[in-house]
Structure 1
Amino acid sequence: MASTQLSDIFVSDYYGTLEPVNSPEKTAVFESGIITRSATLDDIAKNGQGTSEISYWQDLDAEEAPNISNDDPDDQGELGKAEQGSMRARTLYLNKGYGVSDLAAELANSEPMQHIRNRFGTYWTRQWQRYLMGAGRGIIAANIAQNGGDMVKDSGASISANAFQDAAFTAGDAADMFAAIGVHSVVMNQMVKQDMIEYLRDSQGKIILATYLGKPVFMDDALTYAPGQYLSLFFGQGAFGYGEGDPTKPVELERKPGGGNGGGAEVLWERKTFILQPAGFSWQGSENRNLSPTAVQYAAAANWKRVFDRKQVPFAAVISGTATP
């Protein structure tokens, strides 16, 4: 069992007073507001099933022309109908435990378990972002494989304003639905060099937000598409729906008296049940609730299918550049 060992601990009288060192990994895209908590998805996440059907009303068909009124009482107008569709959502059942030996805590003169408690929230945020990035890559790959890539533009070796504009307008007259853009740091660097980025500053002149055409631009180095390629993603409001379930024991402290060769040890477990559903796409992968998919499996094209019309899907993408695998 992997646990906090003596070599992992900075031994100091003041160890417990030090701030934890944050990982350099960023979660800007996850925190950008493109994820909407849904009471419906909360309920589905609590139903104990691996996958669930979500029904939705399809929009009224604007291609059907209206009837022309006349004064003939026997001339019955043609009726349209409202139709329902459905998509599948995948519930994820995840857990993680971290262990600490009593001797490690004693010699550290601090509380490594308290440090673990303090950092668990950040750990889960990073895991959620891995699933979000996986879903982003997966639905784009599915779009290329199944829909002729009608949501995607290839920018070649470097990003360009034309490529960004073309990607947004894959949604036609719904192009104004996009509210944020996520890019890799290499792509952001290219955008800065091309003067594509504008900055919002506070009263002290400090940069508080980078924007492109008035839309927030969030930088995240998880935004790669494949070896050698970067993925720039356009998100609309409600791009991802999010729901949480209720694990039987969401938090559990396990005492292991025999751990540490009898010196004693503790393991802190946290368990999460959640759904992260990209709008307009249906899960096509495993339905086995005992085999929750990994973030890598979320990125597989075969595991997603678009069920909304292109204009109703709040995603677009630009593939560009040469990324380091």
Structure 2
Amino acid sequence: MATKIADVIVPEVFNPYLIQRTAELSALTQSGIIVNDPQLNALATSGGTILNMPFWDDLTGESEVLSDSTPLSVKKIVANKDMSRLHTRGNAWGANDLAKALSGDDPMRAVGDLLASYWARDQQKMLFSTLKGVFAATTMAGNLHDISAGTGAAAVIDATTVIDAQTKLGDAADKLTAFSMHSAVYAKLQKDRLIVYKVDPVTGVSFPTYLDKRVIVDDGHPVAAGVYTTYLFGGGAVGFGQGAAPVPTETDRDSLQGDDILINRQHFILHPRGVKWTEDAVVGVSPTNAELATAANWSRVYENKNIRIVKFVHKLA
């Protein structure tokens, strides 16, 4: 008798497995760019869609000279607020799409890996849309390095222009730990013999580095008319919080059609730290990728150098 989806999927077992595998299959998570945060997990399950993350602004001003006659003046410590958005997403698949997976030796793992890979890819698409909107906001100009209008080598990614991009964070440039780039950019750096492979001491898996920083390759990066976007990230630049959909996973069957159906829903936070979500241009219950890419929905609240992301716009030749 053929395996049915309902025979394979036990939601109480499957849901935590899917969450774990999605994280394992996400290159951005494995590189430390996206970090699961217990505070964001709590916010993602606290109710509401716009979630407040208060913080204290740094102390400023020069110290005062102590005096036996003039008291110190008292300054205020100022509270500020970052805000993130709870994303509510879902999808459904019929058995025909999963027939090959269901014939495997471990059908639950096969289905789980298909879904985990799907969500890892989908969340990376969401992140690129988010970054498009974030860097379209005028408040993020200090984290943007665009050399694409230059001529010759001045417009091309290389060790020199990358250092200029890193310097957008000033004395916090050493917080940048990874590059995320299009495969064409990666190929160019390979041809320049600038890619060095290292081995993860824990997993034993080799990974590419550039200027001693990990490289993530994804063709979802923006490219138009020979102009490419490469992102430089610091560890934990993007916070992730796992929410709890009321019914994350369920199965159904259309007996008349003979179709098995698998439905999966995800509630989560995927937030670039230090750039506030404003909800100024959202129509539905949850923002679409197009709305994530809208500048009006984002506003910087951290100092530029404390936002561990730099957008580098350049050419290849």
Question: Is the contact made by 1:153 and 1:163 (CA closer than 8 Å) also made in structure 2?
Answer: no
- TM-score calculated relative to the size of structure 1: 0.77
CA deviation after TM superposition for structure 1 residue 226, in Å: 5.2
Question: Is the contact made by 1:210 and 1:216 (CA closer than 8 Å) also made in structure 2?
Answer: yes
Distance between the aligned counterparts of 1:152 and 1:302, measured in 2? 17
Give the AA of the match of 2:285: L
Question: Is the contact made by 2:88 and 2:265 (CA closer than 8 Å) also made in structure 1?
Answer: yes
Provide Cα deviations, 1:149-198, integer angstroms capped at 9, x if missing partner: 22122233531222211111011111111111111111112222333323
Match of 2:15 in 1: none
CA deviation after TM superposition for structure 1 residue 51, in Å: 1.2
Q: Which structure has more helix as a fraction of its residues? A: 2
Match of 1:160 in 2: 158
Question: Is the contact made by 2:94 and 2:262 (CA closer than 8 Å) also made in structure 1?
Answer: yes
Alignment RMSD, CA only?
Answer: 3.1
Matched pairs, number: 282
Question: Is the contact made by 1:163 and 1:318 (CA closer than 8 Å) also made in structure 2?
Answer: no
Superposition pairs of residues 294-309 of structure 1, within 5 angstroms: 294-309=288-303
Question: Is the contact made by 2:134 and 2:298 (CA closer than 8 Å) also made in structure 1?
Answer: yes
Match of 1:76 in 2: 71
SS at match of 2:125: helix
**Residue segments in structure 2 that go unaligned for 5+ positions in a row:** 1-24, 149-154
Match of 2:222 in 1: 224
**Residue segments in structure 1 that go unaligned for 5+ positions in a row:** 1-25
Distance between the aligned counterparts of 2:271 and 2:237, measured in 1? 8
The 3 A distance-change label for structure 1 pair 296 and 284 is: same
Provide Cα deviations, 1:72-111, integer angstroms capped at 9, x if missing partner: 1x4211223321101221101111111126xx96x99948
Match of 1:100 among 89, 95, 102: 95
Match of 1:270 in 2: 264
SS at match of 1:319: strand
SS at match of 2:95: strand
Match of 2:42 in 1: 43
Structure number, greater radius of gyration: 1
Identity %: 30
Question: Is the contact made by 1:56 and 1:85 (CA closer than 8 Å) also made in structure 2?
Answer: yes
Superposition pairs of residues 1-325 of structure 1, within 5 angstroms: 27-61=26-60, 64-70=61-67, 72=68, 74-100=69-95, 110=103, 115-142=110-137, 145-147=138-140, 149-156=141-148, 158-200=156-198, 208-224=206-222, 228-258=226-256, 260=257, 264-285=258-279, 291-321=285-315
Distance between the aligned counterparts of 1:66 and 1:92, measured in 2? 44
Provide Cα deviations, 1:6-63, integer angstroms capped at 9, x if missing partner: xxxxxxxxxxxxxxxxxxxx953343211111122112211331212221111111xx
